[in-house]
């Protein structure tokens, strides 16, 4: 019988811990953590994500400020705004919601954020520090998965791990973190991607599988060995007649087939997603405490 990895429940616990820590800071008269978010344009999904992030902040007592601009904002003006926030000592963490309008270079924007305030962990300095094992802001989804591994005491040492997807924000950083020389890590990691041949055969050898490719119900039971640990990162929105909103979220794992073979598995929704949200709060707290960069 598999054990469900209850991301929502763990995320609530982590949130309670963060809330307590912020409240302790407040009592001692310390600086309240403050997250700034920049949103350019009116993409519906982006507006929703930023609203969630602000709500999460207010639930744990972290201050948040939204800088919302029209989608004709020039790249130069956006970079100037980032520099202003970099200099603002009141603000501890800064995120720029992606995607940005086409006339703005996302890479340039990411590289303009002070690495010490880059709580998304996208700046090359943070990525580089993470790769060589120095303290760094780690991007939210890999950080959330590591937290789940720790809280469920999942053994990773010497395990074979297959990560499907090589994005800069999920697959690639997670592959490095799970192979690093400390727990949770010391796994033997294989990264599969769109050019991988015989992915099913590779996945079938894995003790731990992370599906992060963004294709609904891609991972079927014949791609998973008995007792594997399965993390489902994928989120695909599909129409549904059974929900008030008219849509529902589907993961990259065909849950009903795969779960009976798994030892641990995350659901969608309620698995990796809530942990991703909480990881941003953790990074903001770290930024306020200047624990990564003094
Ligand atoms: P992406 O879309 O940037 O990249 C997808 C990756 O999957 C690529 O590296 C590609 O090579 C690989 N891929 C695509 N098709 C493949 C196939 N048929 N076989 C093997 N590999 C294939 O990825 P992303 O931004 O990491 O997002 C992946 C999914 O995770 C999306 O559904 C996204 O919505 C979701 N996501 C969820 C969270 C969360 O908090 N739960 C966070 C980030 C992303």
On whether the CB atoms of residues 143 and 283 are closer than 8 A, the answer is: yes
Residue 266 CA to ligand 1 center (angstroms) comes to: 16
Give yes or no for residue 82 having a pLDDT over 90.
yes
Q: Which pTM does this prediction carry?
A: 0.97
* Residues 4-29 pLDDT 10s: 999 999 999 999 999 999 999 999 99
Give yes or no for residue 158 having a pLDDT over 90.
yes
* Residues 91-128 pLDDT 10s: 999 999 999 999 999 999 999 999 999 999 999 999 99
C-alpha 172/C-alpha 236 separation (Å) is 20
Other C-beta atoms lying within 10 Å of the C-beta of residue 15: 18
User: Mean pLDDT in the chain?
Assistant: 97
**How big is the chain, counted in residues?**
294
On whether the CB atoms of residues 257 and 220 are closer than 8 A, the answer is: yes
If you search the block for the tokens 């407040």, which residue do you land on?
26
Pocket test for ligand 1, best of 10, 120, 138, 212 (most atoms within 8 A of CB): 212
Residue 218 CA to ligand 1 center (angstroms) comes to: 11
Residue 162 CA to ligand 1 center (angstroms) comes to: 14
* Residues 249-269 pLDDT 10s: 999 999 999 999 999 999 999
Ligand 1 atom nearest to 215, measured from its CA: 32
* Residues 39-60 pLDDT 10s: 999 999 999 999 999 999 999 9
C-alpha 134/C-alpha 119 separation (Å) is 15
Q: Do domains 31-114 and 140-274 have the same CATH topology?
A: yes
Q: What is the topology classification, in CATH, of domain 140-274?
A: Rossmann fold (3.40.50)
Strand partners, 231: 210
Q: What tokens were used for 206?
A: 């894995």
The pLDDT, as a whole number, for residue 264 is 98
- Comparing 62 with 1, which gets the higher pLDDT? 62
Active site residue 31: no
Query: What is the pLDDT averaged over residues 222-233?
Result: 98
Active site residue 77: no
Q: Is 117 in the pocket of ligand 1 (CB under 6 A)?
A: no
- Compute CA distances 131 → 33, 143, 177, whole Å: 27, 14, 8
CA trace torsion 114, 118, 124, 127 (10° rounding): 140
* Residues 234-245 pLDDT 10s: 999 999 999 999
Give yes or no for residue 286 having a pLDDT over 90.
yes
The pLDDT, as a whole number, for residue 201 is 98
Q: Is 215 in the pocket of ligand 1 (CB under 6 A)?
A: yes
- Give the DSSP letter of residue 117: G
Q: Is 8 in the pocket of ligand 1 (CB under 6 A)?
A: no
Provide the pLDDT confidence category of residue 294 given band limits of 50, 70 and 90.
confident
Active site residue 107: no
Closest residue to atom 31 of ligand 1, CA basis: 214
Residue 203 CA to ligand 1 center (angstroms) comes to: 16
Domain boundaries, the chain: 31-114, 140-274
Closest residue to atom 15 of ligand 1, CA basis: 194
Q: What is the topology classification, in CATH, of domain 31-114?
A: Rossmann fold (3.40.50)
Residue 287 CA to ligand 1 center (angstroms) comes to: 28
* Residues 166-182 pLDDT 10s: 999 999 999 999 999 99
Strands, E, within 1-159: which ranges? 3-4, 34-40, 63-69, 93-96
């Amino acid at each position: 019988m598999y054990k469900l990895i209850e991301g929502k429940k763990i995320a609530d616990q982590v949130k309670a811990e963060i809330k307590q820590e912020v409240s302790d800071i407040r009592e001692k008269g310390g600086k309240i953590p403050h997250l700034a978010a920049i949103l350019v344009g009116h993409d519906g999904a982006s507006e929703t994500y930023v609203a969630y992030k602000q709500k999460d902040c207010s639930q744990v007592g972290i201050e948040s400020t939204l800088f919302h601009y029209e989608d004709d904002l020039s790249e130069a003006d956006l970079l100037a705004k980032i520099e202003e926030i970099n200099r603002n000592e009141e603000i501890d963490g800064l995120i720029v919601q992606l995607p940005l309008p086409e006339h703005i270079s996302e890479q340039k924007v990411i590289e303009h954020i002070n690495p010490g305030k880059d709580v998304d962990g996208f700046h090359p300095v943070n990525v580089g520090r993470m790769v060589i094992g120095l303290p760094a802001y780690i991007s939210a989804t890999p950080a959330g998965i590591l937290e789940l591994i720790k809280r469920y005491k999942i053994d990773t040492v010497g395990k074979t791990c297959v990560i499907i997807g090589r994005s800069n924000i999920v697959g690639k950083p997670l592959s490095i973190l799970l192979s690093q020389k400390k727990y949770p890590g010391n796994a033997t990691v294989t990264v599969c991607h769109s050019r991988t041949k015989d992915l099913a055969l590779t996945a079938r050898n894995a003790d731990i599988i992370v599906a992060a490719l963004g294709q609904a119900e891609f991972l079927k039971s014949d791609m998973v060995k008995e007792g594997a640990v399965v993390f489902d990162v994928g989120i695909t929105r599909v129409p549904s007649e059974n929900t008030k909103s008219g849509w529902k979220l589907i993961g990259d794992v065909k849950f009903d087939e795969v779960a009976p073979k798994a030892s641990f598995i995350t659901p969608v929704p309620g698995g990796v997603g809530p942990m991703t949200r909480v990881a941003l709060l953790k990074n903001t707290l770290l930024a306020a405490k200047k624990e990564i960069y003094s």
